[in-house]
Structure 1
């Protein structure tokens, strides 16, 4: 009979680290007391682990140690990494390796702001650890951004302390299993108490870690609602990317990206920028994939996930992965970061789903509540036409059919230009269907190559994406 592994408490984790005489480092905590190092002091045996504990809370004193920050912003990733590296360099400078054989050095740091007096700002911060797996190995880092959900400063401080212990323990004991490390961050912490909306692994301990997959774990495990990464695969803090920006997004399965997707994006974005009277620099463009879309009928296929985002990255697009099955939740999320214009490019079929009351049974206000959140901040739908494969009818906002009891509501939004047809679409793309392309790829039929953007077909073939098999694989398969 297999035994279920029992989760350790923060005290037990701190003690386990304290009892390992080869783990030795410093703690630098700014903004919420010294909540993490407190666990190590109380656990016992801390003299073998703690080189130094400090809280350079005063900005002038902190600047004297770590240097000044641009725009006087101290709760930033840049500040955190500067703290981590400075503290490790001090250990290396002041302790001789010859006198400390076998020791694995580390530095833990956080820079946070907790809930304000008026409770209008819940608080957030950066937390990280820089560590060695072996005394002869270079340093690795795990850095994450947190948003507090509790309404009490003391509770937030306690949560931060538990998180810090979990992070340090995970770095030393779970570095060979980053997924387990991520899930262990919530040991003794409720999902309702804390959100982790960005995480980054780097260094020799994580040489083969794809940070996009780690971001996916955050959404999959319910630790955050959405994650964003650049074409280069870099995880981004949503607030840094979306704050006070005009936002234009296109949702899809992108399995694979087709010329229809790109035509919808380019035509819709052009209309959006004209309506918003904004420039590309003032606008953030996102290609969104939902978790429900990734899961399909089963669990998430990580290879399939990477195939999709690699193609989008190759085309130069920023990707957002979310758990927002309903569009109104996506708009509500964007509105939390910006008060500027929001635009959504979508096809007729998706708009019909938006006007389906069955999706809003969980809302006390039903579809009216959903639309109040959906059509906010001057949000506009840019509607791409759809050619019915059976009737060959071209469906637009003018002839799509919504339920009888919603017709007046639909007319209201259309009359007020909240739903606009994309009229400059490429009509030759009307019969491109992604499911048919996917079938052709998996069955090695030719002809699909001309239905995807330039360069995409070669990428799919070179990497064997979406079930594509080259001639050698076909011979082995048959």
Structure 2
């Protein structure tokens, strides 16, 4: 990205799509294929239009007919075409053809690449706006293994032609970024929206792989999508690779637990185990068709100002070590989280939460930005097939255990709360472990940082060892001072 100076102020200049494509075309070493399915050949068209494309484009194709596509790339197990496995087959097949048909002796300095996309644009009824997979497999050294960037997008525009053009711009940005911004993955991710607006598309998943991205943590790249406003929710699995929420949650029963998990404690895991037991006991819940999500909000990550990426990765590391799927969202209000889940499933959902979070649900100040206020929010929240599992709070002054029966809400909310409770939406977690209720993540974190004894016993089995081994949450600094 070019930088110019105006006085003491730096101004970023975003290269045009034509100039990006031309720079690629004028690089005599970059050579590859374009395979685009579902939205025309808009990416390749940008390279043709910019000029000097003969030195860059080995082949441009679209296998629109399903039989032709299957003959070239094979048949997917699920018989679908707009999927990540399909995209990866396209990338691999085209690279294999490049290697097979072009002699390395004749082209010793060529950097091969294959760009592919498989998308579905908006339907005639304009009910489904469309989505797609886009990726590039590329070399940065002829003797080096291939690198790969794969992303998923959801269209926001309501016109098929505009969606095609948007895809073409994104494709150029991806190819340009792969070759010229690969040393700074964060800037590379930002560049996807060069010459685009966030009202045109959403990017909700990305994964980097290959030798040049060996030290890239894909969970951190997922966080960049959220920080840059490219999406409202990202998800990653126990292996640390990013997942597509729409794929993971499609037609599933969902149980979500929101928390800071800084670090994850015995209380968090007791809430998890007990709410899971209650959720699975529901007639409408199929255990085999259930996804359990540990959710952290972006506002929680920003609780102390700017997002601390090391702190974020520490939390992710622990939850992944417990074998959990983790979701980071921009949904501070619970009803927005439930609305998001409802895009993918109509099956029963559950939210597990402590007393403090439940009190927040009944606090009117959280709904000032909604025209219908708290009533509109509750309509959106409990219109769904939803249950809330409430984990109690131990009042150390009175010795009382606070649950739905003795919880005090604002007088104006009493009738709403009563309606909410008597309609079976709220379920108490009664078989909780009384011996751990006074454990709080913030106190455990303070003990770790200050190198105090006893914090290990407050965490689930194996978590303390992980913190020490991987020196999470400032443990290494604490030990160095000892």
Superposition TM-score tier, normalisation by shorter sequence? over 0.9
Show the counterpart of 2:362.
355
Q: Could you tell me how far 1:472 is from its partner in structure 2?
A: 5.6
User: Which stretch shifts more, 158-167 or 375-384?
Assistant: 375-384
Show the counterpart of 1:384.
391
**Residues 450, 478 of structure 2: 8 Å contact kept:** no
Output one character per residue of 1:83-113: Cα deviation in whole Å (capped at 9) or x when no partner. Answer: 1111111111111111113110111010000
Q: Could you tell me how far 1:40 is from its partner in structure 2?
A: 0.5
Once residues 459 and 28 of structure 1 are traced to their aligned partners in structure 2, the CA distance between those partners, rounded to angstroms, is 44
Which of 174, 177, 185 is equivalent to 1:167?
174
Q: Could you tell me how far 1:68 is from its partner in structure 2?
A: 1.6
1:361-380 to structure 2, matched below 5 A, reads: 361-380=368-387
Does residue 111 of structure 2 align to residue 104 of structure 1? yes
SS in 2 for 1:155: helix
Once residues 302 and 478 of structure 2 are traced to their aligned partners in structure 1, the CA distance between those partners, rounded to angstroms, is 30
Once residues 268 and 205 of structure 2 are traced to their aligned partners in structure 1, the CA distance between those partners, rounded to angstroms, is 27
**Residues 461, 470 of structure 1: 8 Å contact kept:** no
Once residues 100 and 127 of structure 1 are traced to their aligned partners in structure 2, the CA distance between those partners, rounded to angstroms, is 27
Show the counterpart of 1:309.
316
Q: Could you tell me how far 1:277 is from its partner in structure 2?
A: 4.5
Once residues 455 and 287 of structure 1 are traced to their aligned partners in structure 2, the CA distance between those partners, rounded to angstroms, is 18
Output one character per residue of 1:434-470: Cα deviation in whole Å (capped at 9) or x when no partner. Answer: 2111111111111121111011111112222112247
Q: Could you tell me how far 1:431 is from its partner in structure 2?
A: 1.2
Does residue 430 of structure 2 align to residue 434 of structure 1? no
**Residues 276, 341 of structure 1: 8 Å contact kept:** no
Does residue 401 of structure 2 align to residue 402 of structure 1? no
Show the counterpart of 1:52.
59
**Residues 449, 478 of structure 2: 8 Å contact kept:** no
User: Which stretch shifts more, 294-303 or 356-365?
Assistant: 294-303
Q: Could you tell me how far 1:163 is from its partner in structure 2?
A: 0.2
Show the counterpart of 1:415.
422
Number of residue pairs aligned between Structure 1 and Structure 2: 475
TM-score (norm 1): 0.97
Which of 463, 467, 475 is equivalent to 2:470?
463
Show the counterpart of 1:245.
252
Which of 163, 183, 196 is equivalent to 1:189?
196
Show the counterpart of 2:4.
none
Once residues 3 and 434 of structure 1 are traced to their aligned partners in structure 2, the CA distance between those partners, rounded to angstroms, is 42
Which of 11, 16, 19 is equivalent to 2:18?
11
**Residues 441, 467 of structure 1: 8 Å contact kept:** yes
Once residues 130 and 225 of structure 2 are traced to their aligned partners in structure 1, the CA distance between those partners, rounded to angstroms, is 19
Output one character per residue of 1:141-200: Cα deviation in whole Å (capped at 9) or x when no partner. Answer: 100111000000011001000000000000000111111110000001111110111101
Q: Could you tell me how far 1:2 is from its partner in structure 2?
A: 6.0
Structure 1: give runs of 5+ residues left out of the alignment: none
Show the counterpart of 2:70.
63
User: Which stretch shifts more, 300-309 or 368-377?
Assistant: 368-377
User: What is the RMSD of the two structures over their aligned residues, measured on CA atoms?
Assistant: 1.2
Show the counterpart of 1:290.
297
Which of 120, 140, 145 is equivalent to 1:138?
145
Does residue 31 of structure 2 align to residue 24 of structure 1? yes
1:62-141 to structure 2, matched below 5 A, reads: 62-141=69-148
Once residues 436 and 85 of structure 2 are traced to their aligned partners in structure 1, the CA distance between those partners, rounded to angstroms, is 45
Once residues 283 and 165 of structure 2 are traced to their aligned partners in structure 1, the CA distance between those partners, rounded to angstroms, is 44
Does residue 353 of structure 2 align to residue 346 of structure 1? yes
**Residues 33, 113 of structure 2: 8 Å contact kept:** yes
Does residue 233 of structure 2 align to residue 226 of structure 1? yes
Once residues 445 and 238 of structure 1 are traced to their aligned partners in structure 2, the CA distance between those partners, rounded to angstroms, is 39
Output one character per residue of 1:318-350: Cα deviation in whole Å (capped at 9) or x when no partner. Answer: 101111111111111111110000000000110
Once residues 234 and 99 of structure 2 are traced to their aligned partners in structure 1, the CA distance between those partners, rounded to angstroms, is 35
Show the counterpart of 2:208.
201
Structure 2: give runs of 5+ residues left out of the alignment: 1-7
Show the counterpart of 1:158.
165
SS in 2 for 1:227: strand
User: Which stretch shifts more, 415-424 or 381-390?
Assistant: 381-390
**Residues 149, 209 of structure 2: 8 Å contact kept:** yes
**Residues 123, 147 of structure 1: 8 Å contact kept:** yes
Show the counterpart of 1:275.
282
**Residues 24, 56 of structure 2: 8 Å contact kept:** yes
Once residues 434 and 396 of structure 2 are traced to their aligned partners in structure 1, the CA distance between those partners, rounded to angstroms, is 14
Output one character per residue of 1:381-433: Cα deviation in whole Å (capped at 9) or x when no partner. Answer: 10000012444332111111111111001000100110111111111112112
